[in-house]
């Protein structure tokens, strides 16, 4: 087989191959071709997404590190900073859910401590098909135990995330893992191979044949053959990673450490070329020096192995023994495999003989950008739903119970109780609320964390869906009392080669950018995952937004649970006549359609200001964002989690089901002592937010009356005990039935 043909087989286009030949001034050898094929895969090169990602706002005074490094960093004062990053592990999880998810967690943790930070929290954003499919149950159980076994062993609490079920994800589940770390400003370290003559060392686990071409596997659609790619999935060892974490953090206190980089996708090839490219240097290494766990590995295999739990460390010449001493304490090896050079080349030797020699910058950053044109999908032109044809159900109490039973709305305790979420004793608002809150020991501060995205919204209107994901994530932080600080995004899409998918991608990015600009929340890190499709379906566009917020005084944090009988319940924001894309239409009528709810970003911003001020003043007993399932579900959740009831009456000319179950945006349900009501009304006036009294917190029943001006009347009447049983146990029942 000719080289050009082989290149094609490895996923390189003719144009890319020609560029490689031109760059090298000769044909690449097998090792070089392998290295190019992984580094220029979509997964490593972002060649389809790069130009669009530039649209994100990434600069703000508190941003210490924006996109381009292992993770983003934002200042939180007190000489401290928060490090954050989210990443997908979708394809590996589709063929080997346990290891796929576990190594996803392992990889994202390494990204955080590669910046010198102590990882303090994990979140997981998951999407699966509907639970009536046995394979979906297998995937869900495998993914959850993979995340649990890895995160739990590491002693990093898994404090939040989301789990959604929709047939769109049946063949291609999404597993996005986010990690957050904390660091002192002066401890921040970069992934740069600086200083000619400095030593390049490999530490952690030995290198095996696992995960070879994992990055390429992640850059193609799932197919019948994907099962056979199981060997492309890496195998995780959380114990090894825990040792690696402690050893690296100990090492990074030393001033002679120049740079550090984790070995993830494309292994040594990527770690060496990226660190050298960032510093404008080169690296020369000898693969014979790399500790192996298998005999007879070729240079090709060593350079492309994605064996987990390894890091590349660049230290000042002469400190190699110091590195070894620290790693030996943790029973890990540290081996010098090469050194930094000044010629910009990544030169790979085997026992002193050159086996590959390519410009590091060309490998890491030289993949030709692919310019694509999007095409508006045909389905978007289909007329909006005619709601007059949808009759309002007689029994709205029954509707509410069915919504509370939907796995998309029901409690995710079955998932998060398998994760250790209390280790490190910082979790002051545990999973199950709008956002998790962690205290920062030694300060008065806290941080709030969330991930959000509604894939159906993004499918029906990618631009509005992108906007909504940001607004919703921010709102989830705001209701805890946290000011949103930064975004890390995980953009999950189908094949970018499909113009309709590319359109979705572009519009989602525009929506995210617009909302991020309006709400002044910079994007500091992220990840793109394309090719999430099978021969029969493409996933919903799912740009997951991970967000971190800051509470200046963690004691003032707020939660969604009602606290005191007699408290007044108030809606901040306005009800709207929007019903499209709702969980209500999906669960009750089997309709996934209509226009998703729109976010007015100005209004959203004012709402956040109002809620944050109210929490800061200490006048709220609870605050909860209105999202899937609408107003009725939001109030019900505040009841269930507070083990209290609600009684109220709403007069409105919006049709009753849209009012109760529509997912109109920019709304927060709060409760407060009656004596604080005037202060809240004043705050709402001042910030230009509508405030409407909905009713009162009562001991045990749940009753909402809805009236319109023409004398129409509807009601919901339920016992909180019944609602709680359904909401708390539905997911477990569906998984285990």
Partner 1 sequence: MRCAVIVFPGSNCDVDCFHVWKDVLGQPTEYVFHKERFSAEDFDLIILPGGFSYGDYLRAGAIARFSPAMDSVYKAAEKGKLILGICNGFQILLEAGLLPGAMMKNRDLKFHCHDVYLKVGTADSPFTNMYLPGEVVKMPIAHGEGNYYADADTIERLKREDRIVFYYSDEKGNITDEANPNGSAENIAGILNEERNVLGMMPHPERCAEEILGNTDGKRLFMSILEYLEGRVKIGKSRRS
By annotation, the residues acting in catalysis are 43, 89
Closest by Cα among 100, 39, 164, 48 to 495: 48
Tokens 């972002």 locate to 46
Q: How far is the CB of 169 from partner 1 (least distance, A)?
A: 23
Joined tokens for residue 283:
């690296």
Q: Which token pair is 67?
A: 């996109």
Residues contacting 652, CB < 8 A, separation 6+: 575, 659, 706, 707, 708
Residue 237 binds to partner 1 (criterion: CB under 8 A)? yes
Give dist(CA 659, CA 653) in Å, integer. Answer: 9
Q: Is 309 in the site for partner 1 (CB under 8 A)?
A: no
Q: Which stretch binds partner 1 (CB under 8 A): 73-81, 194-202, 414-422, 478-486?
A: 414-422
CB of 103 to partner 1, least distance (A): 15
For position 238 contacting partner 1 by CB under 8 A, the verdict is yes
Residues 348-377 that bind partner 1 (CB under 8 A): none
Select from 417, 534, 705, 728 the one that contacts partner 1 (CB under 8 A). Answer: 417
Binding mask of the shown chain, residues 436 to 465, with x at each position contacting partner 1 by CB under 8 A = ---x-x------------------------
Shortest spacing between CB 555 and partner 1, in angstroms = 7
Distances (CA, A) of 501 to 207, 277, 540: 37, 31, 9
Instruction: Tell me how far apart the alpha carbons of residues 66 and 47 are, in angstroms, rounded to a whole number.
Output: 19
Please state, in angstroms and rounded to a whole number, the distance separating the CA atoms of residues 544 and 487: 10
Q: Under rule CB under 8 A, which residues in 152-171 are in contact with partner 1? A: 152-155
Q: Which stretch binds partner 1 (CB under 8 A): 8-16, 88-96, 240-248, 351-359?
A: 240-248
Distance CA 669, CA 623 (A): 6
Is position 300 annotated in a ligand binding site?
Answer: no
Interface pick for partner 1 out of 35, 272, 548, 554 (rule CB under 8 A):
554
CB of 432 to partner 1, least distance (A): 10
| Residues in region 317-336 near partner 1 by CB under 8 A | 329-331
Residues that bind partner 1 (rule: CB under 8 A) add up to a total of 33
Q: How far is the CB of 349 from partner 1 (least distance, A)?
A: 34
Minimum CB separation of residue 239 from partner 1 in Å reads 3
Return the residue of 170, 213, 310, 421 that touches partner 1, per CB under 8 A. 421
Instruction: Tell me: does residue 423 bind partner 1 (CB under 8 A).
Output: yes
Closest to partner 1 by CB, 26 vs 441, is 441
Q: Would you give the binding string for partner 1 spanning residues 596-615, x where CB under 8 A is met?
A: --------------------
Return the HEC string of 264-296. Answer: CCCHHHHHHHHHHHHHCCEEEEEHHHCCECCCC
489 is in an annotated binding site: yes
Known binding residue 199? Answer is: no
416 touching partner 1, by CB under 8 A: yes
Q: How many helices (H) and strands (E) does the chain have?
A: 25, 26
- Answer for the pair 370, 11: CB distance below 8 angstroms, yes or no: no
Question: What is the chain's alpha carbon radius of gyration, rounded to the nearest angstrom?
Answer: 26
Question: What single-letter DSSP state applies at residue 373?
Answer: -
Dihedral through CA 554, CA 558, CA 559, CA 563, nearest 10? 120
Nearest to 82 by CA among 422, 710, 571, 524: 524
Helix 677-687 vs helix 601-617: angle between axes, to the nearest 10 degrees? 150
Question: Residue from 555, 649, 682, 686 that binds partner 1 (CB under 8 A)?
Answer: 555
Instruction: Using CB under 8 A, pick the residue from 47, 110, 242, 667 that binds partner 1.
Output: 242
Q: Yes or no: say if 86 and 177 are a contact pair by the CB < 8 Å rule.
A: yes
Note whether 467 binds partner 1 by CB under 8 A.
Answer: no
449 with 123: CB under 8 angstroms? yes
Dig out the tokens for 600 from the structure. 């007015």
Which is nearer to partner 1, 210 or 301 (by Cβ)?
210
Angle formed by the axes of helices 30-39 and 14-24, to 10°?
120
Q: Are 87 and 527 in contact (CB under 8 A)?
A: yes
Per CB under 8 A, contacts with partner 1 among 131-150 are: 145, 148-149
- Binding residues for ATP, by number, are 46, 85, 489, 526
- Binding residues for Mg(2+), by number, are 87, 111, 262, 527
- Binding residues, by number, are 46, 85, 87-91, 110-111, 234, 262, 306-308, 489, 526-527, 529
Which residues form the interface with partner 1 (CB under 8 A)?
Answer: 145, 148-149, 152-155, 237-240, 242-243, 329-331, 413, 416-425, 427-428, 439, 441, 554-555
- Binding residues for substrate, by number, are 88-91, 110, 234, 306-308, 529
């Amino acid at each position: 087989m000719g080289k050009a043909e082989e290149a094609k087989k490895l996923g390189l286009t003719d144009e890319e191959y020609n560029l490689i030949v031109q760059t090298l001034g000769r044909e690449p050898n097998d090792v070089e071709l392998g290295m190019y094929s992984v580094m220029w895969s979509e997964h490593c090169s972002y060649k389809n997404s790069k130009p669009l990602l530039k649209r994100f706002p990434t600069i703000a005074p508190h941003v210490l590190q924006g996109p381009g490094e292992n993770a983003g960093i934002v200042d939180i004062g007190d000489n401290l900073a928060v490090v954050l990053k989210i990443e997908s592990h979708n394809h590996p999880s589709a063929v080997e859910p346990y290891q796929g998810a576990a190594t996803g967690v392992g990889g994202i943790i390494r990204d955080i401590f590669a910046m010198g930070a102590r990882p303090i929290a994990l979140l997981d954003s998951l999407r699966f098909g509907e639970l009536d499919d046995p394979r979906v149950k297998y995937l869900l159980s495998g993914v959850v135990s993979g995340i649990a076994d890895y995160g739990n062993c590491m002693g990093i609490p898994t404090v939040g995330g989301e789990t959604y079920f929709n047939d769109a994800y049946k063949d291609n589940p999404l597993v996005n893992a986010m990690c957050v770390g904390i660091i002192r400003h002066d401890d921040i370290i970069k992934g740069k191979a600086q200083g000619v003559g400095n030593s390049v060392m490999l530490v952690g686990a030995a290198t095996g044949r696992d995960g070879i071409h994992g990055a390429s596997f992640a850059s193609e659609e799932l197919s019948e053959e994907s099962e056979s790619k199981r060997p492309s999935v890496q195998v995780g060892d959380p114990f090894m990673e825990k040792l690696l974490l402690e050893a690296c953090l100990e090492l990074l206190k030393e001033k002679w450490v120049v740079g550090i980089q984790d070995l993830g996708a494309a292994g040594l090839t990527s770690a060496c070329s990226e660190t050298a490219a960032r510093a404008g240097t080169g690296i020369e290494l000898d693969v014979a020096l790399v500790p192996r766990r298998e005999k007879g590995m070729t240079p090709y295999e060593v350079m492309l192995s994605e064996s987990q739990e390894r890091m590349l460390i660049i230290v000042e010449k002469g400190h190699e023994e110091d590195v070894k001493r620290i790693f030996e304490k943790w029973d890990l090896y540290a081996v010098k495999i090469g050194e930094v050079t000044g010629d910009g080349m990544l030169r790979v030797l085997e026992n002193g003989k050159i086996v590959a020699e390519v410009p590091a910058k060309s490998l890491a950053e030289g993949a030709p950008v692919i310019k694509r044109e999007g095409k508006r999908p045909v389905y978007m032109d289909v007329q909006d739903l005619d709601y007059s044809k949808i009759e309002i159900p007689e029994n709205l109490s029954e509707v509410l119970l069915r919504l509370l039973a939907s796995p998309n709305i029901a409690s995710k305790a079955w998932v998060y109780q398998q994760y250790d979420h209390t280790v490190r004793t910082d979790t002051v608002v545990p999973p199950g609320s709008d956002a998790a809150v962690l205290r920062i020991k030694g300060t008065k501060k806290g941080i709030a964390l969330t991930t959000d995205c509604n894939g159906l919204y993004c499918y029906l209107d990618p631009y509005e869906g992108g906007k909504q994901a940001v607004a919703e994530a921010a709102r989830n932080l705001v209701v805890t009392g946290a000011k949103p600080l930064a975004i890390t995004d995980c953009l999950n899409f189908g094949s970018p080669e499909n113009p309709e998918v590319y359109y979705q991608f572009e519009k989602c990015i525009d929506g995210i950018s617009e909302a991020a600009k309006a709400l002044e929340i910079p994007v500091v890190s992220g990840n793109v995952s394309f090719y999430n499709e099978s021969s029969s379906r493409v996933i919903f566009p799912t740009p997951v937004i991970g967000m971190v917020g800051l509470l200046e005084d963690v004691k003032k944090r707020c939660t969604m649970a009602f606290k005191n009988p007699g408290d007044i319940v108030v809606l901040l924001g306005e009800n709207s006549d929007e019903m499209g894309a709702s969980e209500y239409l999906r669960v009750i009528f089997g309709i996934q359609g209509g226009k998703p709810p729109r976010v007015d970003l100005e209004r959203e911003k004012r709402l956040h200001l109002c809620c944050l001020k109210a929490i800061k003043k200490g006048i709220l007993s609870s605050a909860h964002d209105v999202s899937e399932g609408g107003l009725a579900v939001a109030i019900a959740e505040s009841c269930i989690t507070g083990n209290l009831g609600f009684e109220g009456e709403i007069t409105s000319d919006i049709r009753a089901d849209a009012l109760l179950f529509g997912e109109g945006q920019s709304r927060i349900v709060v409760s407060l002592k009656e004596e604080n009501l005037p202060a809240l009304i004043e705050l709402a006036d001042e910030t230009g937010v509508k405030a409407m009294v909905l009713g009162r917190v009562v001991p045990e029943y749940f009753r909402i009356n809805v009236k319109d001006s023409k004398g129409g009347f509807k009601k919901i009447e339920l016992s909180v005990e019944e609602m709680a049983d359904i909401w708390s146990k539905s997911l477990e029942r569906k998984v285990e039935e």
